[in-house]
Amino acid sequence: ALVGVPALLKLAAFSLLLILPSCLYACPRSCSCPNPKEVHCTFRHFPSAPRNIPKDTERLNLGYNSIGNIGSSDFANLRQLEMLMLHGNDIASVSSGSFYHLRSLQILKLSYNKLKRVDPSLFEGLTSLVRLHLDHNLIDFIEPFSFNGLTSLKLLQLEANRLRDLHPQTFITVSVLGTFWTSGLRHLHLADNQLEYLLPGTLQHFSKLEVLSLHRNPWTCDCHLQWLLEWDKNHEGETSLIVFSNH
């Protein structure tokens, strides 16, 4: 017996449903995908972020490539991203708003790149970010309030950069009406920089700090650092302060 047209249409629709998942979750060429929402594109010599990453990707690893800059549209469609690994590249610039749409992002790793400055537009929109890794770059200046709006941020890794001084409002994560400022950071790593001193107001906005590492900096040990010792004494048992350790 001949198969009717409606039956053929149903068969075609069913076949399409079987094919669609493989199209939606197509793993980008030269990458590996351990599961449909995880994409690994490491050691591929990519000069820029690949454009064909599935939109529902939650974990993206682009470590150890040759990416030189991040464009404003590189990750605009990846709104479900929770982890973005960009370590071990040659990133020297990040366009304003590049991470703005990544409202679900919790971990951002930019370690071992060539960033020189941090400004307030760099991480705008990352309200869910918990861990930010900026260690082993060339950062010599961080504008005040560069981390403002990162209300979930708990760990900030800035080890092994070229920081010489820090503004008292550098680590503010919450600002209310421009008059109430605070920082929700719990772990702050500033070891291996070029810090000789800290202004007395640098730590006044921290209310939840648990670990502060400042070792391997060329400190000028004079009366201008007396306030830091007093701060440490007043927060004994609350914050682990590492200043002069060689390890």
| pLDDT tens by residue, 133-169 | 999 999 999 999 999 999 999 999 999 999 999 999 9
Give the pLDDT band of residue 18 (cuts 50, 70, 90). Answer: very low
The angle at the Cα of 60, spanning 57 to 62, to the nearest 5 degrees, equals 145
Rounded to whole angstroms, how far apart are CA atoms 78 and 104?
10
How many beta carbons lie within 10 A of that of residue 41, not counting itself?
23
Give the range among 52-61, 124-133, 203-212 with minimum mean pLDDT.
203-212
Q: Which of 243, 198, 192, 205 is nearest to 224 (CA)?
A: 198
Average pLDDT over all residues of the chain: 87
Rounded to whole angstroms, how far apart are CA atoms 93 and 164?
21
Q: What are phi and psi of 230, to 5 degrees?
A: -65, -40
DSSP per position, 2-29: PPPHHHHHHHHHHHHHHHHHHHHTPPPT
Q: Which residue type sits at 104?
A: S
Considering the entire predicted model, what is its pTM? 0.86
The sign of the CA dihedral 168, 120, 157, 138 is: negative
**pLDDT value at position 87?**
99
**pLDDT value at position 12?**
52
Instruction: Report, as an integer, the average pLDDT of 183-193.
Output: 95
Could you give the C-alpha distances from 50 to 67, 152, 246, in angstroms and in order?
10, 28, 41
* Res. 33: pLDDT tops 90: yes
Instruction: Report, as an integer, the average pLDDT of 49-73.
Output: 96
Share of the chain above pLDDT 90, in %: 67
- Choose between 133 and 235: higher pLDDT: 133
**pLDDT value at position 133?**
99
